[in-house]
Chain A
Amino acid sequence: MRFTINGTPIDVPDGHSLAAEALARGIPTRRSVSGESRGPLCGMGVCFECRATVDGVAHQLACQTFAGAPPAPVPHLATDLLIVGAGPAGLAAAAAASANGTGVTIVDDNPTPGGQIWRGGNPPIPNRVQFLPLTRVVDAPQPGELTAIRAGAIVRLRYKRLLLATGARERFLPFPGWTLPHVLGAGGLQALVKAGLPIAGKRIVIAGTGPLLVAVAAYMRDHGASILALCDQASARDQAKFLAQLPFSKWGQGLALARSLRGVRPRAGTWPIAAAPGSVTLNTGRTLPCDYVAVGYHLVPNTELAQLLGCATQNGFVVVNDRQQTTVADVYCAGEPTAIGGIDLAQAEGELAGLAIARAAVPHALLERREQFRRFAERLARVTELRPELRQLPKPETIICRCEDVTQSQLAGASGARGEAAQGPAPMNDWRAAKLHTRCGMGPCQGRTCAPILEFLYGFAPPPPRPPIFPAPIATLEESLP
């Protein structure tokens, strides 16, 4: 299928994304506001670095543009249970609720179900469950109704009960060179490979923190890439402690990963400090020539929709009770937005939510399983805690906000800045001041990339979301409400 990207024609095989094909050909997706050539970072429609003029339409996400028949329009839809997100939590909830007689519709902004973890694996949609792929929820105009965008057209989604299974995204940290096109997220690079980016024979440095890095390394290795280094900022001691406490059920996953990693020696206490075209330099002082640097510092929960609906959050996570109910009536939440605990916790929470919504009995063993993996999530949070040295990574000219190209020196007056005295008569002492006076977070990613960075660097609480929670055509906000 032929697309034009910024005026250049590209043939994209069915099922592949335009971003993957552009990256493979070395075609930048956009020029940043300060003139840098940019390519995809997150690979999952969150960072907006891959937006391009596609077939003459400006600001389209190349990573969400797939070759294949466009989805049929669905202007209106009403359902008993609406699930946002077709990852492990959403699918488990759909199976449990549907098996107990509840009508279920799942929407997801990806082309296939599975979320990020099963991307491309095409897990089955449970019986009698309706699935709307390529459908992105952007607004909540009134109780019981969400607005979504599907192939540029509006979808009005009515529901009686709502389950938010919106997953998580990667956390990125700025360092000199991190905006170069060969530097991507770890999950981001994997998503692009699954969307058609050829990786065989490529030299990759994988870095950051968390178990996702190991999974990405194994995946890349299986697809013929050469892993030059697998670096985790966590210390060897913390990692050993974490592994020693791994739940029994995780051993299988761990052993399988270890087998595919044969010959790759993970490096603890190691992280990238700079990238230059065609290379990356580690804190050990070594510079490694490479084709890609895949860097992700664990995950950030996607809580924007929950917050827009008014659900309470605590420490950045959506508050739920023992039936996965949020603080808003008829709104449930499961998976990473409540705690980053991996696939097992997401499935347990999803099943629990599905049963609770269908008013079916909840087995005690399920609650116990959830507790077990909640404890795992806590240990995971500890081992992935970012070391303070990482705050020193950005230099004055390093870009912090990639949408608006706001540099560290522009934000250096931020009063929370470690090691920097507040400057001038008018310090920026919170997210809002930083945004108003530097444009940090004003771009199309709406702060999804830079807000977690400012939280880490300066301690600024991330901003509450505003409608639309993703950029959307003006027409989306124009429709009169019934």
Chain B
Amino acid sequence: MSLPDVIVVGAGVVGASCADACARRGLRVEVLDAHGIGGGATAAGMGHIVVMDDSEAQFALTRYSQQLWQALVRELPKTVEYTSSGTVWVADDDQTTTAEMDEVRRKHAYYAARGVATEILDPRALAAAEPNLRAPLSGGLLVPGDAVVYPPCAARFLLERNGIKVTLAPPVTDLRNLRAGHVVNAAGAGAGALTPGLPIRPRKGHLVITDRYPGWLHHQLVELGYLKSAHSHDGDSVAFNAQPRATGQILIGSSRQFDAEHTTVDHALLARMLRRASLYMPRLASLSALRVWTGFRAATPDSLPLIGPWSENVLLATGHEGLGITTSLATGELIADHITGSASAIPPEPYLPDRFSNSHALHH
């Protein structure tokens, strides 16, 4: 029996996307994951497809990937729950500052210069768009092209549409035991255990989901202070992030925590996160919470993922931190481009893992 061209380790949405992109280019692909399809950060995350402007490289990857999602919409089964809810970045300035509204205008100009339509909301427009927000807030930026999906079923769809073989057991412990032309490490926060020396730190997050309240929330709401939380690389941080699910449920985040190894709920941090959310949406406090869960993001020092060749036949597709759902499809294309030697739609260099090759000794 001949070897597969590609073995992907990790059946999360990133691994599934890599496998799907390779299969569509005629490669023989297999996927391994002991934890099931979409069982890691794919299950734990929010499923927000969002264009980000943190850096040019981040914008390029998220924009490219968002367009790939949009091109896929008509094929997606209902279970993927693709909903064009859009994002509203919420500004909350006190009387002494206009910093967050300045940021709204900056973002608006940045996106406009790159062909992404957005709309500045004044306090009244914001209140009309989301009546359950505290009033008055300073305003916000509506990004209508952003969307929400249910990631585990997205991963499943990507694996099933070309009948990719998925083996759920036993756990992979050593990539060298895998016989294939190429091995893609898409093991998320667990990638470092398979490829020593990766600059990846698991970053724990908490989410809360409510019972069904159809019409209570319309857009994914994110506070503009979110980037501060996402960027702080020391200490625990929280930010207001609320998402309407297709079911009418409301998904509430977010927290970021390094060096937390256990999946148990940190009640003090959870309380902080929910008080932050209630500051923006006071009526949240009375909604019925069904579940709290935690998960681990694969964080890199520069907040960009690791996509591309690493050693011998091993490629990396990990380190997506909180943007793995958004950037999964673009990651798949970049990996398939590398393997087939094709040109990529966006410059792949910013995501190449060897940008960190001086910072660790184990790279061989």
Contact = CB atoms under 8 A, between A and B. Distances in A.
Nearest to A430: B36
Interface in B266-291: 267-268, 270-272, 274-275, 277-278, 284-291
B159 A425 contact: yes
Interface in A422-476: 424-430, 432-433, 436-437, 442-444, 446, 466-468, 471-476
A432 B289 CA distance: 20
B291 A474 contact: no
A202 interface: no
A473 B290 contact: no
A365 interface: no
Interface string A43-83: 00000000000000011000000000000000000000000
A437 B152 contact: yes
B289 A466 contact: no
B211 interface: yes
A58 B213 contact: yes
Contact of B36 (A139, A433, A475, A476): A433
Interface string A198-211: 00000000000000
A473 B278 CA distance: 12
Given A437-B156, A466-B291, A474 B265 contact: no
A477 interface: yes
A243 to B, nearest CB: 43
Contacts of A466: 265, 291-293
A436 B152 contact: yes
B165 interface: yes
Interface residue SS majority, chain B: mixed
B39 interface: yes
A481 B212 CA distance: 28
Interface string A401-425: 0000000000000000000000011
B126 to A, nearest CB: 22
B324 interface: no
A477 B292 contact: yes
B102 interface: no
A282 to B, nearest CB: 36
Contacts of A127: none
A284 interface: no
Given A437-B156, A472-B288, A478 B271 contact: yes
A261 B289 CA distance: 44
B210 interface: yes
Contacts of A475: 278, 285-286
Contacts of A424: 160
Given A141-B267, A437-B156, A478 B164 contact: no
A478 B278 contact: yes
A415 to B, nearest CB: 9
B168 A477 contact: no
A479 interface: yes
A404 to B, nearest CB: 9
Contacts of B38: 436-437
Contacts of A432: 36, 39
Contact of A471 (B36, B166, B168, B211): B211
Given A437-B153, A468-B292, A477-B270, A58 B160 contact: no
Interface string B227-255: 00000000000000000000100001000
B68 interface: no
Given A425-B165, A427-B168, A480-B271, A473 B285 contact: yes
Contacts of A436: 36-39, 43, 152
A58 to B, nearest CB: 7
Nearest to A147: B267
Contacts of B287: 473-474
B288 A473 contact: yes
B152 A474 contact: no
A444 B291 CA distance: 9
A142 interface: yes
Contact of A467 (B39, B153, B265, B274): B265
Contacts of A426: 37, 156, 159-160, 166
A437 B292 contact: no
Nearest to B265: A467
Contacts of B272: 480
A436 to B, nearest CB: 4
Contacts of B290: 442-444, 446, 471
A433 B213 contact: no
Nearest to B209: A442
A446 B291 contact: yes
Contacts of A429: 36, 168
Contact of A425 (B164, B274, B286): B164
Contacts of B36: 428-430, 432-433, 436
A476 B278 CA distance: 12
25 contacts: A424-B160, A425-B163, A426-B156, A432-B39, A437-B152, A437-B153, A444-B288, A466-B265, A466-B291, A471-B211, A472-B288, A473-B287, A473-B288, A473-B289, A474-B277, A474-B287, A475-B278, A475-B286, A477-B271, A477-B274, A477-B292, A478-B274, A479-B271, A480-B271, A481-B267
**A-B interface, 9 closest residue pairs, ranked by CB to CB distance from nearest:** A475-B285, A141-B267, A436-B152, A478-B274, A433-B36, A471-B288, A59-B211, A59-B288, A474-B289
